[in-house]
Structure 1
Amino acid sequence: MSKPALRLSALLPLGLALLLTTAACTRTPEAPTANDTAPPAGAVDPAPGDQVDDVQSLLALSGEGLQLVGDRTGSTTTLEFGSAIELVADAVTSILGEPLESGENSECGSGPQTITQWPRGLVLHAANGEFIGWSARPEPDAALTTMAGVGVGSSRSELDAAYTVEVFASTLGTEFSAGSLFGILSSPAPDAVIEHLWAGTTCNFR
């Protein structure tokens, strides 16, 4: 069953702290993801002729970065990879609260990264002041998904229904690619679930 995208109130300003580790870096190809332009779950269609303003925003994961989506209009702002990490961190902090931890990892294959973890399992990866990747980890209250409703905890059938998926064995486990999204399944079985999900340049031990 698809999980709703996480709700957020208005963005607050906040200077960034950066964080955490995991390590050998994976660079995500630039291929587009399927269904990332579909209206988010929970968006309300306005009645004809009504002037509708957004009350809240939804946060969605994307193969191109992160997306902020109006809860009523469905208008979308993409925080793309290559954006200033301060801007992205402010947006994420306004949604999830203060980061849990932040630190430098100098052992990533693509070079040093600043890695910051927020509640709900979201981790942002930055280098040279730029947002370069995100990863999502298992958390009991995690609710972050793509616009297609796919996130950590989604089933393989939900993944297959939303994207063209390639599944393969790697040193990380049962790995998959779905356009610009990558992740780990709990097993090769049809009833497997997504245990980890990432996009962009991250730092994974292989």
Structure 2
Amino acid sequence: MTTKPLPWTLVALGLLAACAPEPEKPMEKDAAANAAEIIVPPAGNAEANAASARAEAPGIGVRLAPEELTLVQPDGSSRHVRFGMARADAVRMLAGALGSPIEEAGNQDCGAGPLGSAAFRDGLSLYFQDGKFAGWDLDGREAAGFATAKGIGIGTSRKELEAAGTVDVGETSIGNEFMMGALSGLLSSPAPDGKVTNLWAGVTCIAR
């Protein structure tokens, strides 16, 4: 004799099947899916972003002076690289503003005696005598933006020099040389519109 399930029995079995929990997914698959959604930027991008941030940050300015170089900080404060400072300290301070020297050398044939030098970017060179910072020289071929507190720099006219102070101009073996107190340099022409092409102060090794 065959027994057939009653209709209400079939309905109960259907309800139990619908309420049964679905089998859990393996943990490995979920972890793999989450890992696939994590985007890791290439290391090169991080380095480029850091370099860009440094480039956009305010830099340290360098101001020329007859007896020193002044470092103007982004907050407006100043640090002084004075003549007589130890070579290592002067180079380190300038490197913080201009980067490491592009060349360091020594010259035994300078008029003031043996001098060491450190050339930085944009045509600025430091000179050292007996291990001490003794002078600086600015080569105008780089068209740098260095200037004194009165705005004297490469490209300043003779007329502007004379408006800032007493200037003596004369023709020497190296060109139209001028002196303005302890600051010296060359002019492209002795005329009022002649431009400053070189500047220096202190002990240097100017070939004459």
Q: TM-score, normalised by structure 2?
A: 0.68
Shift of residue 143, structure 1, vs aligned partner: 0.8
Q: What's 1:147 paired with?
A: 149
> Counterparts of 1:27-38 in structure 2 under 5 Å?
none
Amino acid of the structure 1 residue aligned with 2:65: S
How far apart in 2 are the matches of 1:162 and 1:190?
Answer: 14
The structure with the greater share of residues assigned to helix is 2
Q: What's 1:189 paired with?
A: 191
Q: What's 2:17 paired with?
A: none
Structure 1 position 63 matched with structure 2 position 34: no
CA contact (8 A) 2:158 2:190 kept: no
Amino acid of the structure 1 residue aligned with 2:62: L
Q: What's 2:181 paired with?
A: 179
Amino acid of the structure 2 residue aligned with 1:203: C
Shift of residue 72, structure 1, vs aligned partner: 4.4
CA contact (8 A) 2:81 2:93 kept: no
Q: What's 1:121 paired with?
A: 123
Q: What's 2:137 paired with?
A: 135
How far apart in 2 are the matches of 1:164 and 1:88?
Answer: 30
- Seen in structure 2, the aligned counterparts of structure 1 residues 111 and 121 have a Cα distance that, compared at 3 Å, is same
Amino acid of the structure 2 residue aligned with 1:164: T
Q: What's 1:160 paired with?
A: 162
**Total equivalences in the alignment:** 151
1:44-93 Cα shifts (integer Å, max 9, x gaps):
xxxxxxxxxxx7542101001111234444x4332211111111111111
How far apart in 1 are the matches of 2:79 and 2:166?
Answer: 24
Q: What's 2:106 paired with?
A: 104
| Runs of 4+, deviation exceeding 3 Å | 70-73
User: Identity over aligned residues, as a percent?
Assistant: 39
3-state SS of paired residue (1:158): helix
Shift of residue 142, structure 1, vs aligned partner: 0.6
Shift of residue 155, structure 1, vs aligned partner: 1.6
> Counterparts of 1:2-81 in structure 2 under 5 Å?
57-73=60-76, 75-81=77-83
3-state SS of paired residue (1:202): coil
Contiguous gaps of at least 5 residues in structure 2: 1-57
How far apart in 2 are the matches of 1:197 and 1:86?
Answer: 23
Q: Which gives a bigger RCO, structure 1 or 2 (Cα 8 Å, sep 6+)? A: 1
How far apart in 2 are the matches of 1:110 and 1:127?
Answer: 9
3-state SS of paired residue (2:163): helix
Contiguous gaps of at least 5 residues in structure 1: 1-54
3-state SS of paired residue (1:95): helix
Q: What's 1:203 paired with?
A: 205
3-state SS of paired residue (1:111): coil
3-state SS of paired residue (1:203): coil
Q: Which has the larger radius of gyration?
A: 2
Amino acid of the structure 1 residue aligned with 2:205: C
1:75-113 Cα shifts (integer Å, max 9, x gaps):
433221111111111111111112111111000122111
